[in-house]
């Protein structure tokens, strides 16, 4: 699998997924279902955005993903 694997393309796909979550339409739900949908959308966005902002490398078949969670002023 590692041969021909494009790390940059993977990161870009996660950026696109994060943007897709932001564009996602709210289905016609109300109450607890609506709250659950919104919470799930926020979690999806957070997860996809974190990977989309990551630095990644492929070394000897090992995918290394570094995510700096420090505030921008501390980086």
Domain assignment present for residue 58? The answer is yes
* Residue-number span of the structural domain to which 31 is assigned: 7-74
Domain assignment present for residue 2? The answer is no
Structure confidence at residue 72 (pLDDT):
86
Structure confidence at residue 53 (pLDDT):
93
Instruction: Retrieve residue 30's tokens.
Output: 């109300």
Domain assignment present for residue 1? The answer is no
Threshold 0.85, pTM exceeds: no
Digitized pLDDT (tens) for each residue of the chain, 75 residues in all: 566 889 999 999 999 999 999 999 988 989 999 999 999 999 999 999 999 999 999 998 899 999 999 998 998
Domain assignment present for residue 26? The answer is yes
Candidates 5, 8, 73, 19; CA nearest to 48 is: 19
């Amino acid at each position: 699998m590692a041969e021909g694997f494009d790390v940059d393309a993977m990161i870009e796909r996660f950026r696109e997924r994060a943007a897709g979550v932001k564009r996602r339409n709210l289905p016609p739900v109300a109450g607890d279902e609506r709250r659950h949908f919104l919470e799930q959308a926020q979690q999806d966005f957070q997860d996809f955005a974190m990977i989309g902002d990551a630095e990644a490398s492929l070394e000897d078949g090992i995918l290394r993903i570094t995510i700096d969670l420090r505030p921008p002023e501390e980086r």
